[in-house]
Amino acid sequence: MSRQGFSIIGKALPKIDAMAKCTGETRYADDLHFSRMVYAKLLRSPHPHALIRAIRTERALSLEGVYAVITGRDLPVRYGISPATEDEEALASEKVRFVGDPVAGVAAASETVAEKALGLIDVDYEPLRPVLSVEEALVAEGELRIHSWNRRANIQKAVSFEFGDVEQGFEQADHIFDETFFYEGNTHLPMEQYCAVAFYGPDGKLTLWSSTQTPHYLHRALSKVLGLPMSRIRVIATPVGGGFGGKSEPFSHEICVAKLSMITGRPVKITLTREECFYVHRGRHPVKMRIKTGVKSDGTLQAMHFQSFLDGGGYSSYGLATVYYTGALQTVVYKLPGYKFEGVRVFTNKPPCGPKRGHGTPQPRFAVEVHLDAIAEKLGMDPIELRLKQLVEPNTVTVNGLRITTTGLRECIERLAAKAEWKKKFRQLPYGQGIGFASSAYISGAGLPIYWNDMPHSGVQIKLDRGGGITAFCGSIDIGQGSDSILAYVVAEEFGVDPADVRVVTADTDLTPVDLGSYSSRVTVMTGNAAIQACRKLKDTLLRAAADALEIPADDLEFAEGKVRCRSFRDRAISFVECVQKAEAKFGTLGAMGSYRPPKHPANYRGSGVGPTPAYSYSASIVELRCDADSAEVKVDKVWIAHDCGRAFNPLLVEGQVEGSVYMALGEALMEEQVFRKSGLHKLPSMLDYKSPTALEMPEVETILVETNDPEGPFGAKEAGQGPLLPVIPAVTNALYDAIGVRIHEIPITPDKVLRALEGRLKPVSVPSFEFPPPIRWQPGEGVEVQQKS
């Protein structure tokens, strides 16, 4: 790993919270305990779709040990992560939209009493026929309409775009390939169940501790629904025991404990059961896809037409963004002169889908990469060669107006292919063994915030103690990816001190400047840039004091090894502590703020807000596997993965993100699925039945990190937490084809599907017929100027 000129960046250091996590000291939300605390439970709908006629809570309220019971009437204000689609209620008041939709909440002396009280709440439902498929949802009318705010049927959003000259592209193509795919839904399954604790104190202020990835958005939602000003609410995100996107919006249970605490004046805790976590969901959307591609005989892509049909579940959640994401990043990996995208997300009577690692992009990436593998085969080309000849170039703008800064994909692919001995193995392994390839790209942070505003996406405040201690305050929340450590590394690097001398205070809306949260792989880039800015402001002040003390011009001074020293004569130095004291004496108490907002993106069409980012990460993967021809069971032997992360702040953490992504990808590719009965009931809401791979299923992973030093990233860094998931899934599919000669167009690839395919009995995926709206047309070059780093 390159470490030119860095003292901390690039080092394999332990995370700053590692030992706390290895000794059981880390306090997760459910580990919090307060005196007088009471416990909440939520009553959930047993019907997938029903009107609520009446709710009677008297019997529950009169049960000994029950402190409060609330229903939808107590929390009438609707909310939702996206301001354009606020269609959720903390407790359903008129209608339930999936099995598990909460309708009432209880606070009681113990979980057992609360549970008992739930059984004493009488709800009169008028069941309605559930809508469970995209096909039904697209044409649903009358009482089959799940919401009334959307324009027609159960269509939440339908979008259509045309970029470049698509028609001409297809006309110039020598071959046109047209295929359909299906990617089943799956869920995050963090080991920590959802948990929140609220306390509304006698001072009229509310504090909410929650296992959340987005304390700021939660802060806003609480204020809106509870009718309390944000200034009276404090949200503290506790260390998150796994998120993967599943804890990145405000949830019913968080709002309900807050309300219950306001009513009881006591601390109220809620911990959802594992089953409830499956109902909260917000996981991977099931998506049907159709992809039509025109290519030249030499493999050059001419035009692509991509359609996606998303089964969104009962509410909008992040769905508006998801539908765009299923179309946005197709153009970022390979040059595509003409691109048409049509996508639709529908409501169905199932738990709402939302963002899961890769948000809306693993599904199309799977389809595109399997499709390209098939195209290469038809054209008699090596699939890697086909890709290498048309990789997107650095410092370009894609046909849909996305600005590419750096890309290390070529290096990723070349090093990967060498390491995995691709040429020697591809189409050369014995029957039953196979090797497959795919590549991908992902955003390093969404270019726009969830709600429209001109404020920074991330803020960092730094305070210097006269004893030399440095405290960095930031709203970011560590969900295990190591964002607290990254913040400490950046600050330590800037001040030339040991990360152990840096304290970080994060994810507390009373204490820390806003950071939008741990989603969209944004934290390293955005908090990193904000932290650097804050550090440099403070360093200017410190340098002035040091320059006076050492009688050396400030531009010949540097921060290194716990000192401020002369660059030319290193022994002319003062200690960092001394420098801080001199500066404090001269300028007063020392602190500084830094903030970051992503650069404006070049395109300006409606819908262009999803897809832009400061910088794209790139990944490529090769998977080697075996498939038993008799049982069709698949065993992955090895995964090679190369990832362009811009700069590896800490290679251990980057590798950890890559390996975790590979793991999650393999689970999705081969076994995980969130599926439902015809009644609308979740088929398998348990850890036993939802198949999360164990240590025995996980193959050895060889990770190659590629550094491209992106100008937008702090010290050149891009993301690593989500992108590496993307190529693995199609690489598995392509490897299976290499092994046994069948292409499975459905995820997960289960043995029964493989066996059916081997016998020629696996039906092709059908996609609904649907008339999309007329496309928004956009040509490269239209729109605003590209601004450099903000």
Partner 1 sequence: MEIASETAKTLLEVLREDLGLTGTKHGCELGECGTCAVLMDGKPVLSCLVLGVEAEGADVATIEGMMQGGQPHPLQRAFADLGAAQCGYCIPGILLVAKALLDSNPHPGRDEIREMLSGNLCRCTGYTKILDAVEMAAKGRGDL
Partner 2 sequence: MLRLPEFRYVKAGSLKGAVRALSDLGPDAMVVAGGTDLYPKMKRGQFTPRYLVSLRFLPELKGIRPRGREGMWIGAGETLTALCEHHAIKGIFPSLAQAAGSVSTPLLRNMGTIGGNLFVDTRCNYYDQTFFWREAAGFCLKKDGEICLVAPRSKKCLAVFSSDTAPVFCSLGAMAILVGPGGERRVLLEELYRDDGIGFLTKGREEVLRGVVIPRAAFGVRNVYLKLRRRGAFDFPVLGVAAAMSFSKENICLSARVVLTAVSSCPKVVEGAAAVVVGKRVDRTAIEEAAEVAARASHPVDNADMDYWYRKRMTKVYVRKALALLAGLES
Number of Cβ atoms within 10 Å of the Cβ of 148: 7
Q: Which positions from 614 through 633 interact with partner 2, judged by CB under 8 A?
A: 630-632
> Does the footprint of partner 2 cover residue 349 (CB under 8 A)?
no
> Does the footprint of partner 1 cover residue 362 (CB under 8 A)?
no
For residue 630, the minimal CB distance to partner 2 (Å) is: 5
755 binds, among partner 2, partner 1, none (CB under 5 to 8 A by kind): partner 2
> Does the footprint of partner 1 cover residue 455 (CB under 8 A)?
no
CB 619 within 8 A of CB 493: no
Query: Quick one: 61 or 629, whose CB is closer to partner 2?
Result: 629
240 binds, among partner 2, partner 1, none (CB under 5 to 8 A by kind): partner 1
Interacting residue with partner 2 among 18, 46, 56, 335 (CB under 8 A): 46
> Does the footprint of partner 2 cover residue 122 (CB under 8 A)?
no
- Pairing mode, if any, of strands 287-295 and 206-210? unpaired
**CA-CA-CA-CA torsion sign (28, 31, 34, 36):** positive
Using CB under 8 A, count the residues that bind partner 1.
56
| Structure-token pair, residue 442 | 């992902």
Number of Cβ atoms within 10 Å of the Cβ of 437: 29
> Does the footprint of partner 1 cover residue 190 (CB under 8 A)?
yes
> Does the footprint of partner 1 cover residue 33 (CB under 8 A)?
yes
> Does the footprint of partner 1 cover residue 109 (CB under 8 A)?
no
Interacting residue with partner 1 among 4, 23, 35, 769 (CB under 8 A): 23
Give CA torsion, residues 252, 257, 258, 262, to 10 deg: 140
What's the burial of 303, exposed, middle or buried (CB within 10 Å: 0-12/13-18/19+)?
Answer: buried
Interacting residue with partner 2 among 62, 231, 679, 766 (CB under 8 A): 679
Number of Cβ atoms within 10 Å of the Cβ of 120: 18
Stretch of 17-25, 299-307, 649-657, 677-685 contacting partner 2, by CB under 8 A: 677-685
Q: How far apart are CA 235 and CA 511, in angstroms?
A: 10
Q: Which of 704, 618, 655, 702 is nearest to 408 (CA)?
A: 618
CB 733 within 8 A of CB 751: no
Query: Quick one: 654 or 662, whose CB is closer to partner 2?
Result: 662
Interacting residue with partner 1 among 283, 319, 352, 656 (CB under 8 A): 656
Query: Quick one: 54 or 695, whose CB is closer to partner 1?
Result: 695
Q: Please, what is the Cα angle at 249 between 243 and 252, to 5 degrees?
A: 105
> Does the footprint of partner 1 cover residue 500 (CB under 8 A)?
no
Interacting residue with partner 1 among 535, 642, 662, 726 (CB under 8 A): 662
Q: Please, what is the Cα angle at 317 between 47 and 206, to 5 degrees?
A: 95
Query: Quick one: 54 or 696, whose CB is closer to partner 1?
Result: 696
> Does the footprint of partner 1 cover residue 663 (CB under 8 A)?
yes
> Does the footprint of partner 2 cover residue 51 (CB under 8 A)?
no
> Does the footprint of partner 2 cover residue 548 (CB under 8 A)?
no
252 binds, among partner 1, partner 2, none (CB under 5 to 8 A by kind): none
What's the burial of 498, exposed, middle or buried (CB within 10 Å: 0-12/13-18/19+)?
Answer: middle
> Does the footprint of partner 1 cover residue 790 (CB under 8 A)?
no
Q: Which of 65, 75, 60, 70 is nearest to 111 (CA)?
A: 65
The strand ranges marked E within 497-562 are 502-506, 557-560
Interacting residue with partner 2 among 419, 683, 766, 790 (CB under 8 A): 683
> Does the footprint of partner 2 cover residue 23 (CB under 8 A)?
no
242 binds, among partner 2, partner 1, none (CB under 5 to 8 A by kind): partner 1
> Does the footprint of partner 2 cover residue 685 (CB under 8 A)?
yes
* Matching residue, tokens 């990723």: 412
Interacting residue with partner 1 among 562, 659, 751, 780 (CB under 8 A): 659
> Does the footprint of partner 1 cover residue 11 (CB under 8 A)?
no
- Prior bond to 711 cis, omega within 30? no
Q: Which of 359, 412, 425, 413 is nearest to 385 (CA)?
A: 413
Number of Cβ atoms within 10 Å of the Cβ of 786: 14
> Does the footprint of partner 1 cover residue 652 (CB under 8 A)?
yes
> Does the footprint of partner 2 cover residue 699 (CB under 8 A)?
no
Q: Which of 599, 639, 646 is nearest to 409 (CA)?
A: 646
At 492, is the secondary structure helix, strand, or coil?
Answer: helix
Q: Which residues contact 385 (CB under 8 A, 6 or more apart)?
A: 299, 376
681 binds, among partner 2, partner 1, none (CB under 5 to 8 A by kind): partner 2
> Does the footprint of partner 1 cover residue 241 (CB under 8 A)?
yes
- Prior bond to 748 cis, omega within 30? yes
HSE toward the beta carbon, residue 64, CA cutoff 13 A: 0
| Structure-token pair, residue 184 | 């089943």
28 binds, among partner 2, partner 1, none (CB under 5 to 8 A by kind): partner 1
For residue 662, the minimal CB distance to partner 1 (Å) is: 6
**Pattern of binders to partner 2 over 87-106, x per CB under 8 A?**
------------x-------
| Structure-token pair, residue 240 | 């998150």
Q: Which amino acid is at 114?
A: A
Q: How far apart are CA 412 and CA 394, in angstroms?
A: 14
Stretch of 50-58, 154-162, 509-517, 692-700 contacting partner 1, by CB under 8 A: 692-700
> Does the footprint of partner 1 cover residue 506 (CB under 8 A)?
no
Residue 505 bridge partners (DSSP): 473
CA distance readout (Å), 3 to 10, 12, 549:
6, 11, 31
Q: Which of 335, 189, 186 is nearest to 671 (CA)?
A: 186
For residue 681, the minimal CB distance to partner 2 (Å) is: 6
99 binds, among partner 1, partner 2, none (CB under 5 to 8 A by kind): partner 2
Using CB under 8 A, count the residues that bind partner 2.
33
Binding residues for partner 1 (CB under 8 A): 14-15, 17-28, 30-31, 33, 188-193, 239-244, 273-274, 479-482, 650, 652-653, 655-656, 659-664, 686-688, 692, 694-696, 698, 700-701
Binding residues for partner 2 (CB under 8 A): 44, 46-47, 99, 111-112, 271, 273-275, 630-632, 671, 677, 679, 681-686, 688-689, 691, 693-694, 696-697, 750-752, 755
